[in-house]
Amino acid sequence: MTSHKNPAARILRVLVGGLAAMLFAAVAQADESRADYLLYKEALYHIYNNDHFRALNLLESTHTGATHIANKYHNLNHLLAVESSLHLGLFQQAQGILEHLDFTNREPAIREVSRLYRGRLSYQQGQWQEAIDTFRKLGGELPAEYRDEASYYLAMSLMHQGHLQQVAPILARMGQNSLWTAYGYYNLAMQYAELDVDPSRALVALRVAGAMTNTSPEGLALSDQIHLSAGQLSLRAEDYGKAMTFLQKVRVRSEASPAAIYAYGLAYQGLGQYRAAVQMWHRAKKYALVLPGVAESFQAVAYGFEKENLRSSALEAYVEAVSVYDKEMAHLNKLVAELRDKGAVEVLLEGQLRQEVDWFLLGDVVTNTPKAGLVGYLMADETFYRRAKTILELRELQKILDQGESNLGIFQKMVETQQQKASRSSTARPLKQKASELNALVNERNRLVKDIEGAEKEQDYFRLAPPLMLAQKHRIDQLKAELHRLQQQGGGQDVEQKLAKLRLLEGELLWRAMSDFDANRQRARRHVASLDEQIHHYKEGLKRLSERVDDAGHYSSERDRIAKLRTRTTALSKQLQQLVAEENQAVTRMAIERLERHRARMEEHKRLSQVALVNLLDDIAVRQASRMVRPERGGQL
């Protein structure tokens, strides 16, 4: 009976086969899982570094359901790809990945996160109602760390639709000490401030927002903005004490600082404390003129002195203000001329680009140099910011393409050199020689195995013995033959004795060979195993060498691949250059327009300061004249 007819054997074979398949699948899955885990962690690193291009470069963003691998990190990688796609405005790609996840994913948590991203996708495209519907469908399986984000986007979508009464209850359900909550309340407060004459509802929302911030850099910046807004709202309501309470919470080293200082001065002014107001406005003078409140502070200082009846100080302050506005206008004229000549990319973005590409995309713009201050002012305009961001992204792409082009050039040379080396006939000859050497080695190995098997079968204890023992055995055999010859020639008793002694020695040697037989056999097997390993390495090396020699077509296909990539790179590079040039023109126009507006503001400040200065001088002159007239009149009287 053959084994394949035996049901027990068949079951066993199926079982073993199944287990082996499962083991293989488990190993393969573990490998895939490990690869996905590493990919996830690496992509995460790039995303936290704001390098979404590199993250997307790593993440496989498009594949069909057939190649889907069911592990946690595979799905998470898809979600990271959606995150980066949304960040880069690649909505269609994000949509494609989400559809793929809908089709393949079976995990409830991933399904809910995927739905959250779908809502964000609608939100970013301004489809508010669709976003609301999607966020409302989110279930309890949504992981806790995503809940505030989901509620925030739902609240903001409702706000965009004008359903303010539904926003507050949603925000109230969100987690405390969460920046999502803080941003939500801040945005709600700004909506209230726009709608209401009485700021109390907005102030309450701002107070809640302030309480939700944390001590992270982003949290502190938001807290400053919240307190500045609350201060300004209180000022609008002429509640100066409350305004001061809010404004003094704005940190000195913050974006909002100059505006807060100016507003604080206004609060003092409202209370009639002009000296304190002047002291406050003095502090704002160190900031760039373009920042809100700084240009006003120069004028306000002079005004404060005037109110305090410190006329000479007021005169000096007005003169200083006029001079500062003049300087700013001269600087603006120079910058506008430069912009017309070289364009916005080179004048406004290039210099900063050398330091760090995304410096201005961060919240904390350095405003201590006039140019950086002006860039900050320009970026405050949403349209300008969006288009400048697009330009910078396109330039980043350009850099990637340039790098790719350079790499492709190197690869092309490398492949050509390898191809030349491989095609030389001198490589083929040693290859044949090496192959015959390998065959000899394999034959030797087979002989050795045969010897071991023969020795084991025939119990030939000496066949696997070490060389020293074999030499001893050989010597004994030689002596024995010699003694036998002498015996036949009638060698006598002496020969007999020597033969007996030799037999004893032979027996002893046999005894040693027998006792060492197992060890010798194992040693021989080890030798074979080591030889097998060497033969394997040799074979692998030979295979690679052979592939290099034989596979001339491989190099050709690689060269074709490189050539095609180069063509695509060049074409894309041209398209990019054209788009950047077009966008540069548009952004330059916008920059000039906005700078002209700032210039007009400076002009107006200058005009007002000059008028105030003339009025003050006039007033002083009138007073002096009246003082001079009075004694005369007195004399007359």
Cα(142)–Cα(151) distance, integer angstroms: 12
Nearest to 281 by CA among 298, 305, 256: 298
What is the nearest approach in angstroms of other proteins to the Cβ of residue 582? 7
> Does residue number 562 form part of the binding site for other proteins (CB under 8 A)?
yes
Question: Is 250 in a helix, a strand, or coil?
Answer: coil
Alpha carbon 152 to chain centroid distance? 24
> Does residue number 256 form part of the binding site for other proteins (CB under 8 A)?
no
> Does residue number 24 form part of the binding site for other proteins (CB under 8 A)?
no
What is the nearest approach in angstroms of other proteins to the Cβ of residue 156? 22
Q: Give the interface size with other proteins as a residue count (CB under 8 A).
A: 49
Q: Which is nearer to other proteins, 486 or 576 (CB)?
A: 576
What string marks each residue from 282 to 321 as x (binds other proteins by CB under 8 A) or -?
----------------------------------------
For other proteins, the binding residue among 32, 33, 50, 479 (CB under 8 A) is: 50
For other proteins, the binding residue among 572, 590, 608, 620 (CB under 8 A) is: 572
Q: Which is nearer to other proteins, 41 or 501 (CB)?
A: 41
- As given in the structure block, the two tokens for residue 370 are 């006039």
Residues 515-554 that bind other proteins (CB under 8 A): 537, 540
> Does residue number 34 form part of the binding site for other proteins (CB under 8 A)?
yes
> Does residue number 575 form part of the binding site for other proteins (CB under 8 A)?
yes
What is the nearest approach in angstroms of other proteins to the Cβ of residue 89? 6
What is the nearest approach in angstroms of other proteins to the Cβ of residue 100? 16
Cα(132)–Cα(130) distance, integer angstroms: 5
Stretch that binds other proteins, among 35-43, 103-111, 121-129, 505-513 (CB under 8 A): 35-43
Q: Which is nearer to other proteins, 61 or 181 (CB)?
A: 61
What is the nearest approach in angstroms of other proteins to the Cβ of residue 88? 6
Q: What angle do CA 533, 535, 540 make, to 5 degrees?
A: 95
Q: Which is nearer to other proteins, 34 or 484 (CB)?
A: 34
> Does residue number 563 form part of the binding site for other proteins (CB under 8 A)?
no
Residue with tokens 């519907």: 133
> Does residue number 90 form part of the binding site for other proteins (CB under 8 A)?
yes
What single-letter DSSP state applies at residue 349? I
> Does residue number 155 form part of the binding site for other proteins (CB under 8 A)?
no
What is the nearest approach in angstroms of other proteins to the Cβ of residue 70? 21
Residues 392-431 that bind other proteins (CB under 8 A): 393-394, 397, 400-401, 404, 407-408, 411, 414-415
> Does residue number 479 form part of the binding site for other proteins (CB under 8 A)?
no
What is the nearest approach in angstroms of other proteins to the Cβ of residue 184? 23
Contact 434, 543 (CB under 8 A): no
Cα(222)–Cα(158) distance, integer angstroms: 22
What is the nearest approach in angstroms of other proteins to the Cβ of residue 565? 6
For other proteins, the binding residue among 4, 8, 48, 309 (CB under 8 A) is: 48
Count Cβ atoms within 10 A of the Cβ of residue 358 and give its class: 0-12 exposed, 13-18 middle, 19 or more buried: middle
CA torsion through residues 148, 153, 159, 161, sign: negative
Q: Which is nearer to other proteins, 108 or 541 (CB)?
A: 541
> Does residue number 219 form part of the binding site for other proteins (CB under 8 A)?
no
Q: Which is nearer to other proteins, 88 or 379 (CB)?
A: 88
Cα(424)–Cα(630) distance, integer angstroms: 115
Contact 148, 181 (CB under 8 A): yes
For other proteins, the binding residue among 32, 33, 44, 346 (CB under 8 A) is: 44
Cα(487)–Cα(510) distance, integer angstroms: 24
Q: Which is nearer to other proteins, 438 or 486 (CB)?
A: 438
Count Cβ atoms within 10 A of the Cβ of residue 434 and give its class: 0-12 exposed, 13-18 middle, 19 or more buried: middle
Q: Which is nearer to other proteins, 153 or 384 (CB)?
A: 384
- As given in the structure block, the two tokens for residue 443 are 């034959």
Q: Which is nearer to other proteins, 99 or 494 (CB)?
A: 99
Burial annotation 58-67 (CB, 10 A radius, 16+ → b, else e): bbebeeeeee
Stretch that binds other proteins, among 20-28, 86-94, 456-464, 614-622 (CB under 8 A): 86-94
Q: Which is nearer to other proteins, 59 or 235 (CB)?
A: 59
> Does residue number 57 form part of the binding site for other proteins (CB under 8 A)?
yes
What is the nearest approach in angstroms of other proteins to the Cβ of residue 44? 4
Q: Provide, for the chain, the percentages of residues in helix, strand and coil under a 3-state DSSP scheme, each rounded to the nearest 5.
A: 85, 0, 15
User: Residue 48: what residue type?
Assistant: Y
User: Residue 59: what residue type?
Assistant: L
Cα(36)–Cα(44) distance, integer angstroms: 12
What is the nearest approach in angstroms of other proteins to the Cβ of residue 50? 7
DSSP for 561-599, please give it.
HHHHHHHHHHHHHHHHHHHHHHHHHHHHHHHHHHHHHHH
Contact 56, 68 (CB under 8 A): no
For other proteins, the binding residue among 149, 224, 255, 558 (CB under 8 A) is: 558
Cα–Cα distances (Å) from 205 to 155, 190, 209, in that order, read 14, 9, 6
> Does residue number 53 form part of the binding site for other proteins (CB under 8 A)?
yes
Residue with tokens 């499962």: 22
In terms of phi and psi (left: phi > 0; alpha: psi -120 to 50; beta: otherwise), the region of 238 is: left
> Does residue number 567 form part of the binding site for other proteins (CB under 8 A)?
no
DSSP for 514-536, please give it.
HHTHHHHHHHHHHHHHHHHHHHH
- As given in the structure block, the two tokens for residue 65 are 């359901």
What is the nearest approach in angstroms of other proteins to the Cβ of residue 410? 9
Stretch that binds other proteins, among 39-47, 119-127, 295-303, 500-508 (CB under 8 A): 39-47
Tell me which residues touch other proteins (CB under 8 A): 34, 38, 41-42, 44-50, 53, 56-57, 61, 88-93, 387, 390, 393-394, 397, 400-401, 404, 407-408, 411, 414-415, 537, 540, 558, 561-562, 565, 568-569, 572, 575-576, 579, 582-583, 586
